[in-house]
Structure 1
Amino acid sequence: MDQYNMPSSNIGKESATLIQSLPVDSVQALASSLTTSDHIPTRYIRPEAESEPVIISGDAEDDIPVIDFHKLLDHELSEAESSKLHFACQNWGFFQLINHGVSEEVIQKMMFVIEEFFKLPLDEKMLVKQRPGQLDGYGQLFVISEEQKLDWADILVYQTWPLHLRKIGLWPTNPSTFRDALDEYSMDVKRLANCLLGFMAKNLGLDPPEITANLENGAQSVRINCYPPCPEDNKVLGLSPHSDASIVTLVLQVNDVPGLQIKRNEKWLPVKPIPGAFVANIGDALEIFSNGKYKSIEHRAVTNTKKERFSIAVFHGPERNGTVGPHPELVLKGEPLYKSMDYESYIKLYLTSKLDGKSFLGRLKLNK
């Protein structure tokens, strides 16, 4: 049993879901009440939203790589496409995944229930609000102080795998198809992520069956984002700069409003999502697991002055009864670059920290 899959005596407690994020008011309700003469509340004003440089996209070199999943599965084309995937993981940390095999019907069902849910009156949405100290439901994450600057967004968060951690009572019943849509979508995306991680493992020189077997029981959670329009969109952030705690995250743009930006060469690069494609990104757990060979990338979300933006981020993480740490075969000369810790401690540390670039990963680096 390798270091990445060591048992932990702390796992098995439902306390793994005890996350303390302070409650905040609905941003969607706030946005709908603003008039053109109103000022944005101070807690949402983010000076860095205006001051940090953004790349004006137009050069093909600024487009993140596109990986064709169908080619990865094709015996004759797989090697070349796997090489492109390896390059994307090493040099970008982000890529768009096309021809991924998740059906258009499943995607459209999920898009429909998201937009319908966020059309509901606030009191109906509050029926599935997060309970004190819990992760799942309608609300917010990463709010750890009353003075903290806030993101211009409302979210729905659900643990979807392992199945016994699902809190179905907090899955909306309005619209009536929401639960079935989320179940089908999350399972199809999980199968895709497991297969994709097999190719990544092979590119790292590891045994894909061994790695994917470990990850089949890995944690999966879904974050559904609603970014309401903001009349002063250059003063707020929809989602603070951060890197994900996951191994890999698959994001779907629900409507045609852009907003995702990634940090590249110390500037923000807007992502132009391909319709129907997933935007995939490497998470901190994979950077740790690969001992720095693959890099997680800082990213953020910005808002629009007139239209709401919706997206679905599905996070795939290590096994809940495992350890997050460098894989022994990837530790060169016996020098791990990152600490190892049990999954529960790792995810609690992440979820009780303020989103702040790659500061979380920085806390896990070993000083040399």
Structure 2
Amino acid sequence: MAPAMPPPVKLSESDLVEKISKGDEIPANFILPVEHRPEVCLTRSSDEIPVVDLAGLDGDKREEVLSVIHKACLEWGFFQVVNHGVDPSVQQYMKDQVEEFLALPVHERAPGGIRKGVASQGYGTGYVKPDTGARDWRDYFLLRTYPESMRDYETWPNRDSFRDAISKYTLEMKKLAEKLLECLSINLGLAPNALKDALGELHQDLLINHYPPCPNPSVAIGANKHTDLGGVTCLWQLDDVVGLQVLKDGEWYPVHPKPGAYIINVADMVEVASNGIYKSIQHRAVVNPAKRRVSIAAFYDLHPDAVVKPIPELVSEERPACPAVRFGDHAMKLAIETDKVGLKVVN
């Protein structure tokens, strides 16, 4: 029988961030029950996860590129893209601002704290999953970026350069996500705007993840297993530390990020709109004992009142329609409540 876990110590949000940033001990709040602890040392390879050169979309390799994306969506739900068209100067600007932000003392990173509520945003420590009762080993900054009226600048660092970088970067992410949705639509035999139209108004979220070194990665997790809620996710990793893992056929595969690439995954609402042809795949992030990991995820999410249902052309007698989903209900069903501030956030 496994020894009982010590009770969580009641610490403030900033104290918890300080503790994981120092990394010299693991507070009980972050220790997973034995049955939920990750297998950290994987021998499996992620070389099969396709790397797609999007430059080919504009030339005579277009059909080949679309075919690779289609196969990746069917078999993995994940792929990496290079030559993606994101302005490298905007990427560098964003990276510089994130690095400057993380170099600040914890109490100076986000004086506005976390804004509570379903549309929460702000800076804090990792989410809590109800089935584990433990926090993810990370601190994060969650921002609502589109529509622009959702931006709560009181929770953002009071730095013009940070806000400017976010605005420029999220516009690039919007364009990339729309390009990818167009590819997926064409691959499904639909009009290029079919998936975008099915998802409705873009509600983009940006999640800056910081996974500090963890003294014992075998008892903690950076991000517990989950699927993403919306349309597609565009993840940019700012370093080469392997942490992301993808679940396929009951096995976890580590993803080795290519320099400058974006890791793309199909999310829940595209699974619904495609009538299950494309699957939203579970993934997680493990932590490293010696190195930090930093990533920026741009989520193509939906208006809470958006109702997504299978696109009619993808429904047949052989493939009956899956149930329609109201995005706000789906988000609330999968909301995660932190153990400290009563904040519900969507993973």
TM-score > 0.5 by shorter chain: yes
User: Structure 1 residues 183 and 161, CA, compared in 2 at 3 Å: closer, same or farther?
Assistant: same
The one of 62, 65, 68 aligned to 2:50:
65
Question: Quick one: distance in 2 between partners of 1:254 and 1:142?
Answer: 21
The one of 166, 177, 201 aligned to 1:182:
166
> Any residues of structure 2 matched to 1:223-234 within 5 Å, and which?
223-234=207-218
1:41 maps to what in 2? 27
Count of residue pairs brought into register by the alignment: 326
> Any residues of structure 2 matched to 1:341-352 within 5 Å, and which?
341-352=325-336
Question: Which structure shows the bigger proportion of residues in helix conformation?
Answer: 1
The answer as to whether partners of 1:141 and 1:351 remain within 8 angstroms in 2 is no
2:20 maps to what in 1? 31
Larger deviation, residues 276-285 vs 147-156: 147-156
Give % identity.
37
User: Structure 1 residues 208 and 219, CA, compared in 2 at 3 Å: closer, same or farther?
Assistant: same
2:98 maps to what in 1? 114
> Any residues of structure 2 matched to 1:26-175 within 5 Å, and which?
27-35=16-24, 38=25, 40-46=26-32, 47-48=34-35, 52=39, 55-57=42-44, 62-74=47-59, 76-133=60-117, 134-140=119-125, 142-143=127-128, 148-174=133-159
The Cα of 1:143 is off from its aligned counterpart by 3.1
Larger deviation, residues 130-139 vs 241-250: 130-139
The answer as to whether partners of 1:63 and 1:271 remain within 8 angstroms in 2 is no
User: Structure 1 residues 89 and 146, CA, compared in 2 at 3 Å: closer, same or farther?
Assistant: closer
Look up the SS of the partner of 1:258 in the other structure: coil
Question: Quick one: distance in 2 between partners of 1:217 and 1:329?
Answer: 21
1:201 aligns with 2:188: no
The answer as to whether partners of 1:161 and 1:217 remain within 8 angstroms in 2 is no
User: Structure 1 residues 54 and 287, CA, compared in 2 at 3 Å: closer, same or farther?
Assistant: farther
User: Structure 1 residues 78 and 238, CA, compared in 2 at 3 Å: closer, same or farther?
Assistant: same
1:251 aligns with 2:235: yes
Question: Quick one: distance in 1 between partners of 2:114 and 2:57?
Answer: 39
Q: After superposition, give the CA deviation of every residue in 1:277-336 in whole Å (9 maximum; x if it has no partner).
A: 000001111111111100111111111112221000101124555212222221222864
TM-score (ref. length: structure 2): 0.85
1:308 aligns with 2:292: yes
The letter of the residue matching 1:252 is: W
Q: After superposition, give the CA deviation of every residue in 1:181-206 in whole Å (9 maximum; x if it has no partner).
A: 11100001111110111111011111
The answer as to whether partners of 2:126 and 2:139 remain within 8 angstroms in 1 is no
Question: Quick one: distance in 2 between partners of 1:296 and 1:210?
Answer: 18
The Cα of 1:352 is off from its aligned counterpart by 4.3
| RCO higher in structure (CA 8 A, sep ≥6) | 1
TM-score (ref. length: structure 1): 0.81
The answer as to whether partners of 2:23 and 2:212 remain within 8 angstroms in 1 is no
User: Structure 1 residues 282 and 32, CA, compared in 2 at 3 Å: closer, same or farther?
Assistant: closer
> Any residues of structure 2 matched to 1:250-269 within 5 Å, and which?
250-269=234-253
Gapped runs of 5+ residues in structure 2?
1-10, 339-347
User: Structure 1 residues 302 and 57, CA, compared in 2 at 3 Å: closer, same or farther?
Assistant: same
1:325 maps to what in 2? 309
The Cα of 1:33 is off from its aligned counterpart by 4.3
Question: Quick one: distance in 2 between partners of 1:99 and 1:34?
Answer: 36
The letter of the residue matching 2:58 is: L
User: Structure 1 residues 51 and 148, CA, compared in 2 at 3 Å: closer, same or farther?
Assistant: closer
Question: Quick one: distance in 2 between partners of 1:51 and 1:225?
Answer: 19
Look up the SS of the partner of 2:133 in the other structure: coil
The answer as to whether partners of 1:324 and 1:346 remain within 8 angstroms in 2 is no
2:6 maps to what in 1? none
The Cα of 1:25 is off from its aligned counterpart by 5.1
The Cα of 1:142 is off from its aligned counterpart by 4.4
Larger deviation, residues 250-259 vs 327-336: 327-336
The answer as to whether partners of 1:159 and 1:166 remain within 8 angstroms in 2 is yes
The Cα of 1:159 is off from its aligned counterpart by 1.1
The Cα of 1:27 is off from its aligned counterpart by 4.5
Question: Quick one: distance in 2 between partners of 1:141 and 1:309?
Answer: 14
The answer as to whether partners of 2:147 and 2:204 remain within 8 angstroms in 1 is yes
